[in-house]
Amino acid sequence: MKKTVLFSDITIVSSHDDVKATVMENAFCVVSDDRICYVGQSKEAALEKAESLSSGDFETYDGRNKILAPTFANAHAHTPMSIFRNIADDFALQDWLFNEIIPREDRMIADDFTYGHLLTLAEMIEGGTACAANMYDGADQITLASAEAGFRLQQTAMGKTFKDGVWSADSKNVEDFIALCNEKGKGLIKPSLLVHSVYLYPGSFYADLSELAKKYEIPVSVHISETIKENEDCLSSYGCTPVEYLDQTGLLSDTTVAAHCVHLTENDMRILSERKTWVAHNASSNMKLASGFADMVGMQKAGIRLCLGTDGASSNNNQDMFIEMRLASFMAKGKTYDPTVMCASDVFHMATRNGYLACGFEDCGIIEEGMKADIQIIDYDCPQMWPLGNPVSSLVYSCGPKCVESVMIDGRFVLYKHDLTTIDFEKVKFETKKTMERLK
């Protein structure tokens, strides 16, 4: 249920579009319905706003020793893959994908998508994540489960069929999915088109996918240059890099979310920058699958729009955006021998504001009046974060999911003082255990 909440005496940390992250101590924030209605340091003004919006019937949330921050938007995930967590580890990517994961995915039934997705949402919410760009089949089940859980999602439509060894574009699939998002998505679900990678479909098919995305004006979700092998195979098949090839087919735009981008040439970076394509950096997954270390600083200098993702839980093996922020920063420093690069404020911006923009939610990811109320409350009264020091550094370098006390999405508490309010975790546990036993 949405209502009016006054967060009082709290430390507010937020990114903004044109300045580094800011900190406001002894602050107040009023949320009413789905929006942030007041942010400032005047108790009187906050009380007046809360009273006028609720006719006096509002909740006061005690914010002492707490941080109020925007929730994270995970820009690259495969949510149902949490059911494959810790059952196929320490393989090379191609071996892992084609011999371990896809054969199991081929045996998934409808409920597996629903409960695998909900398991991941429970983990994401408890870790301060309120939004994700999700690349996976089972779009209908995932959409209905997300809307019910009150979670924001950019979800891929399959948009294609594979019959008798031939891929074909499927307009009806996209149309039906857009209609489902509009009718059942509660304003929380946005459709995109699944274009897995340059290596999964025949060359002639990419132009068809590009046309499909343009026809329905939906973003493209794609993996690019995740491994050296992918680049070598693309060069031998098409005589160019994956970025160049996808650009030639019209699949790179300012709404495309390109995951990984570990092995880019200078020309690739120029193209991604010019197209304003979003690059979702997946530090944990790239290291676990030994894909390499993306040149985050080079991409930043090239003006590429950067965000962060966890990738699927079977190649990570969690959905923890605190770890992704920390690793993105530490990897960049280690790779460049320069501790001043990729500072806490930079990666916080990527995990919050940029993640939301990449997922297509323009009025989220910043704590300002008029923005959607996607908020997390961090309790820093714990050994891990005490004493607070610089709150931005503390969020990026010290904080973790257990410090996340509450999460609000669209003005609704989905985690309230450590309790999930929209997901029946006991039911999710029961169903996903059954699935894992059937598919292992």
Contacts with Zn ion, residue ranges (CB under 5 A) = 311
Return all residues near 238 (Cβ < 8 A) that are at least 6 apart: 198, 203, 245
* Residue with smaller CB distance to Zn ion, 244 or 311: 311
**Residue 360: both structure tokens together:** 């297509």
Q: CB 7: neighbour CB atoms within 10 A?
A: 28
Give me the least distance between CB of 311 and Zn ion, in Å please.
Answer: 5
* Residue with smaller CB distance to Zn ion, 350 or 420: 350
Could you tell me whether strands 22-32 and 35-40 are parallel, antiparallel, or unpaired per DSSP bridges?
antiparallel
* Residue with smaller CB distance to Zn ion, 4 or 310: 310
Residue with tokens 């922020």: 325
Residue with tokens 């994401």: 124
Q: Are 399 and 376 in contact (CB under 8 A)?
A: no
How far apart (Å, rounded) are the C-alpha atoms in residues 254 and 272? 9
* Residue with smaller CB distance to Zn ion, 311 or 346: 311
Give every strand in the sheet of 152-157, ordered side by side.
72-77, 129-134, 152-157, 189-194, 220-224, 257-260, 278-281, 305-308
Of the chain, the end-to-end C-alpha distance in Å amounts to 39
Give me the least distance between CB of 284 and Zn ion, in Å please.
Answer: 12
Give me the least distance between CB of 153 and Zn ion, in Å please.
Answer: 15
How far apart (Å, rounded) are the C-alpha atoms in residues 286 and 298? 17
Give me the least distance between CB of 395 and Zn ion, in Å please.
Answer: 25
* Residue with smaller CB distance to Zn ion, 196 or 270: 196
Of 114, 35, 107, which is closest to residue 79 (Cα–Cα)? Answer: 114
* Residue with smaller CB distance to Zn ion, 23 or 87: 87
Give me the least distance between CB of 135 and Zn ion, in Å please.
Answer: 6
Give me the least distance between CB of 116 and Zn ion, in Å please.
Answer: 15
How far apart (Å, rounded) are the C-alpha atoms in residues 119 and 33? 27
* Residue with smaller CB distance to Zn ion, 77 or 325: 77
Would you mind telling me the total number of residues written for the chain in this entry? 440
Give me the least distance between CB of 72 and Zn ion, in Å please.
Answer: 17
Strand partners, 40: 28
- State the residue number with the nearest CB to Zn ion: 311
Give me the least distance between CB of 24 and Zn ion, in Å please.
Answer: 36
Give me the least distance between CB of 38 and Zn ion, in Å please.
Answer: 39
* Residue with smaller CB distance to Zn ion, 320 or 379: 320
* Residue with smaller CB distance to Zn ion, 230 or 311: 311
Phi-psi bin for 260: left (phi > 0), alpha (psi -120 to 50), beta? left
How far apart (Å, rounded) are the C-alpha atoms in residues 298 and 336? 10
How far apart (Å, rounded) are the C-alpha atoms in residues 61 and 81? 35
DSSP state at residue 43: H
Q: Phi then psi for 99, rounded to 5 degrees?
A: -105, -25
